C-alpha cells in the first residue's frame, strides 16, 4: 500500500509543502559542549543530532596493539530512546546502529588527513535526539562540524544528503521520515562536494538505472548546498569565538 503513495502532488509540492529540490530547514551550532575536544549540534527539519569528538589521542584498548601506522577512527552512532514516535528499546548496538557506525567511519576516513595522525585515534560520538528521516546524513554532517570544532585537519567538508524519486520520475532532495516510509527509493550520498568526489553511496529499494544519474546529481546538489550552509556556520562560529581573542579582524 505504501508504495502506491504519491510523493509529489500535481501542483509540484511534496507532502510537507516543499518543492522537489528544496532542503529542509537547517540549523547548526558548533562547540556546544566543553568536555570533548570538539562538538556540534545540527538540525535538519525535525531530525536533530548531537556530535562530540575526542582526539586525536593515543590509540587505546585493542587498537593499541595494532601494527598499522594509520589513524584509527572510532565512531559510535546511537539514537535516543525518545527519538522516534514509538520509544526505542535499544538505543545503541542494534544492527542499524552498527551499520551506520561503519558507514560513518568509511565516510570520515575519506575526509580526515590521516597522514597527519599516525598511530593515533579519533573518537566520534553521534547521538540522534530526534529522528525524522535522513538520520545518517544529518549524523555525518554533525560529525563533520564536530571534527572541525575539534581542529582536526580535513581534506574538505564531507557532507551527506539523501534523494528520492517520485512516481512521476522527478528527483526529490533531502527526504523526510514520511517520505521514507511511504515507500519510495532512498539514495544516500556522502560526498566531498568541492572536488566532486563521492565517499559513500547507499540506496534502499530499486529504481531503473536510467534515473540513477539524475538522482545522484540531485543528492550532490543537496550536498553542495549543505556545504555552503555548514561553511557559513563555521565562519560565524570562528567570528564569534575569535572576537574574544581579537581574531575577528583577521578573518
Partner 1 sequence: MQTLREFTRKTKRGNVLRIVREHYLRDDIGCGSDLCQYCFQNEVYQLTTRHQINSTLFKHPHYIVLDTNVVLDQIDVLEEDVLHNVIVLSTVLNEVKHKSSSIYKRFNEIIHDRSRNFYVFVNEHHKDTYADREPNESANDRNDRAIRLATKWYDTHLINSQSSKSFERSGQSTTRVILLTDDAGNRSKAESEDILVASAAEYVKSLEDFPLLVDKLSQKSFENEKQARPQYPPHLSMKELLEGLRQKKYLQGSFQASRENYLEGNVNVENYEKGILLQGRESLNRAVDGDIVAVELLPETEWSAPSEIVLEEKNVYADDVPSEERAQEEQQVKKAALAAAKTDERTPTGRIVGIVRRKWRQYCGILQPSLIEDTNRHIFVPADRKIPRIRIETRQAAKLLNQRIIVTIDTWPRNSRYPHGHFVRSLGPLGDMATENEVILLEHDVPHCKFSEEVLSFLPQMPWTITPEDYAKRVDLRDLYICSVDPPGCTDIDDALHCRDLPNGNLEVGVHIADVSHFIRPGNALDKEAAARGTTVYLVGKRIDMVPELLSSNLCSLVGGVERFAFSCIWEVDQEANVLNKRFHKSVIKSKRAMTYEEAQVMIDDSNEQGEIAKSLRNLNRLAKILKKRRMDNGALVLASPEIRFQVDSETHEPLEVEAKQMRDTNSMVEEFMLLANITVAQHIAAEFSECAVLRRHPRPPPTNFDPLVKAARYQGFEVDIESGLSLSHSLDKCVKVDNPYFNTMIRILTTRCMMQAVYFISGSLQKEEFFHYGLAASIYTHFTSPIRRYSDIMVHRLLAASIGADSTYAQLLERKSNEELCNNLNYRHKMAQYAGRASVALNTHLFFRGKEEDEEGYVLFVRKNALQILIPKYGLEGTLYLKSDKDGKDGLERIKSEIVFTFNEEDHTQRCGNVVFHSFDPVTVRLSLDSRNVQHEKLVFRLVKPYIKGFSVELVKMEVEGETPTCPPTKKSKKDKKKK
Q: What is the DSSP string of 44-95?
A: ETTEEEEEEEEEEEE--GGGTT----SPEEEEEEEE-TTSSSSPPS-SSSSH
Q: Which is nearer to partner 1, 181 or 241 (CB)?
A: 181
Instruction: Check if the beta carbon of residue 43 is closer than 8 Å to that of residue 27.
Output: yes
Shortest CB 119 distance to partner 1, Å: 45
If one asks whether residue 208 binds partner 1 (CB under 8 A), the answer comes out as yes
Q: Which is nearer to partner 1, 16 or 196 (CB)?
A: 16
Instruction: Check if the beta carbon of residue 93 is closer than 8 Å to that of residue 76.
Output: no
Shortest CB 184 distance to partner 1, Å: 12
Count CB-CB contacts under 10 A for residue 20: 19
If one asks whether residue 129 binds partner 1 (CB under 8 A), the answer comes out as no
If one asks whether residue 23 binds partner 1 (CB under 8 A), the answer comes out as no
If one asks whether residue 17 binds partner 1 (CB under 8 A), the answer comes out as yes
Residue 18: which of 183, 129, 133, 138 has the closest Cα?
Answer: 133
Site track 151-180 with partner 1 (rule: CB under 8 A), x = hit: ------------------x------x-x--
**Contact pick of 34, 67, 210, 246 for partner 1 (by CB under 8 A):** 210
Window 74-113: residues binding partner 1 (CB under 8 A): 85-86
**Contact pick of 2, 10, 61, 95 for partner 1 (by CB under 8 A):** 10
Shortest CB 16 distance to partner 1, Å: 5
Query: E strand or H helix at 127, and its extent?
Result: strand 120-130
**Sign, CA torsion 78/161/130/149:** positive
Q: Which residues contact 7 (CB under 8 A, 6 or more apart)?
A: 14, 15, 164, 166, 167, 172, 179, 182, 184
Give the interface with partner 1 as residue ranges (CB under 8 A): 3, 9-11, 13, 16-18, 24-25, 45-46, 85-86, 132, 169, 176, 178, 206-208, 210-211
Amino acid at each position: 500500500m505504501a508504495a502506491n503513495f504519491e510523493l509529489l502532488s500535481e501542483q509540484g509540492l511534496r507532502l510537507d509543502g516543499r518543492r522537489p529540490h528544496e532542503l529542509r530547514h537547517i540549523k547548526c551550532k558548533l562547540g556546544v559542549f566543553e568536555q570533548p575536544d570538539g562538538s556540534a549540534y545540527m538540525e535538519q527539519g525535525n531530525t536533530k543530532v548531537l556530535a562530540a569528538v575526542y582526539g586525536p589521542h593515543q590509540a587505546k584498548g585493542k587498537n593499541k596493539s595494532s601494527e598499522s601506522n594509520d589513524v584509527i577512527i572510532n565512531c559510535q552512532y546511537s539514537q535516543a530512546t525518545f527519538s522516534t514516535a514509538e520509544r526505542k528499546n535499544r538505543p545503541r548496538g542494534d544492527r542499524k546502529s552498527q551499520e551506520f557506525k561503519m558507514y560513518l567511519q568509511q565516510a570520515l576516513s575519506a575526509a580526515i588527513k590521516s597522514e597527519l595522525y599516525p598511530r593515533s585515534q579519533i573518537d566520534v560520538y553521534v547521538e540522534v535526539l530526534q529522528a525524522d528521516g535522513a538520520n545518517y546524513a544529518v549524523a555525518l554532517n554533525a560529525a563533520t562540524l564536530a571534527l572541525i570544532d575539534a581542529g582536526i585537519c580535513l581534506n574538505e567538508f564531507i557532507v551527506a544528503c539523501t534523494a528520492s524519486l517520485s512516481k512521476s520520475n522527478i528527483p526529490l532532495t533531502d527526504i523526510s521520515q514520511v517520505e521514507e516510509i511511504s515507500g519510495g527509493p532512498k539514495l544516500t550520498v556522502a560526498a566531498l562536494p568541492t572536488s566532486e568526489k563521492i565517499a559513500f553511496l547507499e540506496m534502499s529499494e530499486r529504481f531503473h538505472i536510467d534515473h540513477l544519474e539524475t538522482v545522484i546529481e540531485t543528492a550532490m546538489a543537496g550536498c553542495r548546498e549543505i556545504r555552503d550552509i555548514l561553511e557559513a556556520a563555521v565562519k560565524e562560529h570562528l567570528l564569534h569565538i575569535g572576537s574574544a581573542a581579537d581574531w575577528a579582524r583577521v578573518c
